[in-house]
Amino acid sequence: MFNNFFKQLANRTNDIRIKNKLIVSFILVVFVPVLIVGVFLTSAFRQNVLDQATQQVGSNVDRVKSQTADIIRMPLEISDNLLSDTRLMNVVNTQYPTTYSVVAAYREYRDFRDSVKLYNEIHNVRFYYTNPTMLDNWEFLRVTPEKSREPWFKHAMDEDGIRWLYVEDETKGNEKFLSLVRKVNFPLYRTSGVLVITIDPTVLGSMMRQEAFDTMIIEDNGYIVAAKDGELVGKNVNDLTFATELAGKSEGTYEFHYGGKPSRVVIEKLVPSSSRNGLRIVSVFAVDSIVGGANRISLLGLAIMMVSLAVAWVLIYMTSTLISKRMLVLHKDLNKVAMGDLNVISSVSGNDEIGMLSRQFNNMVVSIRGLMDDVADSESQKAQLLLRQREIKLKMMASQINPHFLFNALESIRMKAHLNGQKEISVVVRMLGKMIRQNLEVGNRKIALRDEVEVVRCYLEIQKFRYGGDRLSFLLDVDEGCASVEVPPLVIQPIVENAVVHGLDHVEQGGFVSVRAYETGDHVRIEIKDNGSGIEASRMEAINRALDDMDEEEDYRIGLRNVHQRLVMIYGDGCGLNIQSEPGRGTLITFDIPTGGIRHA
């Protein structure tokens, strides 16, 4: 399935022009990956900046928490000391007979005033009592029915322990402050009172104004006791628009909308020791205010990336156009050659692949012209050879008597010799007649190798009869598998004749000629060897030059040259004569005939 899909895709791709392929490749390989990487990096950069801002806010909240703990540490210590202070117990529980005695006791007890003077964190210290003999003096305040009904006071009286509340201070114009509220019991007198230590709001405000983000401290009932934005102090967070999103949130980091903008909030709780409740420190920052710079950098990077891609697009377009133009020029040149114009020279330059194709195209055209010239020359040579053969044949026919008369005369001589007991003469005459008939019947047809070798045997028998005695002997060795291979007529006999006439001319006795034919691969190799006087080097060089010379007229070279040129024209250059000879050591002539899988019937 996948293979078919890829094959179809490849086939469709092959139909697209190179220019469009380059543009599509640019989009798939460069534009899309760069765009994906750019979006990923922009998102990662934005998220990283946001995470760093969140970590920074978390650190700021931890610092605010630590500083707030330091601020409320002293009120805690003071409340712990006053819880077991006998002097406070005596002042609150003594039954004063006169007003003067009350004033004297107040004057002698200076702990509340000293705490306010010594510690900047403490704004006010007051104690609510039930002793009817005491007087109110802004430090000691009588519990009125109205005060006893206030929720914070009722909670303080109902439960022991420290509570941190945002309560009114009647000694400060009923202004509300973050206060430590604690019930103080006097077991000895079976009485109790409520201690209230107010935190100085200027200390908290100064701390909050140093924060980089909107930070606020919220008490248990939802009142904002301190904030970077001073207008929020004293408001209840439940009355603000974002209160619903903060409701029920424990410590952690959350995403919500603050002021109509996507924001993040970090919440931390501060529960001092021995306290029944604590404070929440909340820090909020708008996402846009943090990632605005990152967005600007991302937009700048995106703009640079788009400009770079645009420049790359232009370059790709120009490059693809140049390549297409050069390919079209080469295509037009190829069309001219296809129409038969072999004088085309491609003008595409350069050392790239197209330039290399152009140069190879020019070389190919030159080679084709050369091959056509060679074919024309070969056809011309072949025509000349056929013309010369026809001329020779005409000359032979003009100089000969009627063949039937000649054969009848030779047959009469043979029969007369046979009747007179001259069997040897009879055999020679019969062989001579067979040779003459074979030569007269030579045309363009091919004959079996066995028939060509039979002509050679007739010739050698006649020559053996001529020389007589032991001057000439021969060997004809043809593999059975080669006997039916077709060969041109009269390709072996002229070579054997040359060996007898010229090679054995000076041999008085023991002359020997051998003809062998055997298969070698897809060729039949034919060897003609004699043990004559051999050929000198200078004469050998002249013979090799004469083999390809159409105008050579020297007798002893004509037979070899004709055979060589016929073989070359029929079978090619590799099938011509190969002559090896050394003076005094005879001559070996070989040539190959391609079998071609054709056997003569």
Residue 527: burial class (beta carbons within 10 Å; 0-12, 13-18, 19+): middle
Q: Which pLDDT score, from 0 to 100, does residue 402 have? A: 44
Q: Which pLDDT score, from 0 to 100, does residue 396 have? A: 46
**Could you tell me the two tokens for 145?**
């029915």
395 found inside a domain:
no
284 found inside a domain:
yes
DSSP per position, 272-290? -TTBSS-EEEEEEEEHHHH
426 found inside a domain:
no
C-beta separation of 526 from 492 below 8 A: yes
Q: Which pLDDT score, from 0 to 100, does residue 434 have? A: 64
200 found inside a domain:
yes
301 found inside a domain:
yes
**Torsion angle of C-alpha atoms 305, 310, 312, 318, degrees rounded to 10:** 180
241 found inside a domain:
yes
Tell me: do 4 and 151 sit in the same domain: yes
Distance (Å) of CA 351 to CA 290, 357, 504: 55, 10, 64
Q: Which long-range contacts (CB under 8 A, 24 or more apart) does 284-289 make?
A: 284/213, 284/214, 284/215, 284/258, 285/53, 285/57, 285/213, 285/214, 286/258, 286/259, 286/261, 286/262, 287/50, 287/261, 287/262, 287/263, 288/261, 288/262
Tell me: do 468 and 334 sit in the same domain: no
207 found inside a domain:
yes
Q: Which pLDDT score, from 0 to 100, does residue 180 have? A: 93
Q: Which pLDDT score, from 0 to 100, does residue 469 have? A: 61
Other Cβ atoms closer than 10 A to 265: 22
The residue type of 302 is: L
**Which residues, at least 6 apart from 192, have a Cβ–Cβ distance to it below 8 Å?**
130, 157, 183, 184, 185, 186
The domain that contains 519 carries what CATH number? 3.30.565.10
Tell me: do 296 and 177 sit in the same domain: yes
What SS3 string covers 125-155? EEEEECCCCCCCCCCEEECCHHHHHCHHHHH
Domain tally, the chain:
2
Point out the residues of the chain with pLDDT beneath 50: 394, 396-402, 404-405, 555, 597-601
Of the chain, the end-to-end C-alpha distance in Å amounts to 55
365 found inside a domain:
no
Of 325, 341, 357, the position where a domain reaches its end is: 341
* Residue range of the domain that includes 254: 1-341
Of 310, 341, 372, the position where a domain reaches its end is: 341
Tell me: do 73 and 207 sit in the same domain: yes
Tell me: do 328 and 458 sit in the same domain: no
Tell me: do 48 and 183 sit in the same domain: yes
Of 293, 323, 341, the position where a domain reaches its end is: 341
Tell me: do 322 and 462 sit in the same domain: no
Q: Which pLDDT score, from 0 to 100, does residue 392 have? A: 56
Q: Which pLDDT score, from 0 to 100, does residue 527 have? A: 95
What SS3 string covers 328-383? HHHHHHHHHHHCCCCCCCCCCCCCCHHHHHHHHHHHHHHHHHHHHHHHHHHHHHHH
Q: Which pLDDT score, from 0 to 100, does residue 433 have? A: 63
